[in-house]
Amino acid sequence: MFTLASMCICAGAALAALAVLALLWPATARRWVVSFPRSRVAAWVLSALALFWVANIVQHGRLGRFEPWKVYVWPSYTVALIAVGLFMDDLLAVRALGGILLLGANPVLRAVRLHDSPWASFVAAVTYGVIILGIAWILGPYRFRRWLSWMLSPEWYRWTCSGVLFLGALLCALGLTVL
């Protein structure tokens, strides 16, 4: 199990790296982000990751009277991945990303609960914001594209990248010093 500090450092480093890359190569970053919602490769990879994560949770969880059904988890994973890829292909990458955000929030909130620093509340607040984003993107993936249209506009692009960079640096600093 990861500590809260290591999760903050990993998330912060990923956010900061993405923001720096977006600031260094804005045209490439815009092109990639705009094409992301309709990308079949991203959809399949993120869906496979999200479904694998769920299957792993089910496989290792205590299911009580449903324990004998665990033998069907991995075959069900395969069927679910194919079905999701074939029948829910519209903006699937955004939906899968939202699912990964929701799945990733659980270990962070578990670690926050065990930590007594007042800064852990900040990490919890950021995590709940991520949960809201995940829910919004799963239920309405068109919101992702709508938000991108103003976040990637010339007047907001640097502010968006700078905000993501600041959040990433803050999470890294919290992970390295306080948590």
Read off the tokens for 178: 């306080």
Rounded CA-CA distance 120/113 in Å is 8
What is the reported pLDDT for 88? Answer: 77
What is the reported pLDDT for 74? Answer: 92
Rounded CA-CA distance 12/168 in Å is 4
Residue 63 host element (H or E): none
Rounded CA-CA distance 21/161 in Å is 9
Is the Cβ–Cβ distance between 42 and 93 less than 8 Å? yes
Is the Cβ–Cβ distance between 174 and 123 less than 8 Å? yes
Please provide the size of the chain in residues. Answer: 179
What is the reported pLDDT for 18? Answer: 95
Mean pLDDT of the chain: 91
Domain boundaries, the chain: 4-178
Kindly report, residue by residue over 62-84, the tens digit of the pLDDT. Answer: 988 998 999 999 999 999 999 98
The model's confidence at residue 1, banded by pLDDT at 50, 70 and 90, is low
Q: What helix, strand, coil percent values describe the chain, rounded to 5?
A: 90, 0, 10
Given the structure tokens 């395969």, which residue do they identify?
A: 78
What is the reported pLDDT for 115? Answer: 86
What is the reported pLDDT for 22? Answer: 94
Is the Cβ–Cβ distance between 92 and 84 less than 8 Å? yes
User: Which of 2, 3, 10 lies closest to 172, judged by CA?
Assistant: 10
Q: What percent of the chain has pLDDT over 90?
A: 69
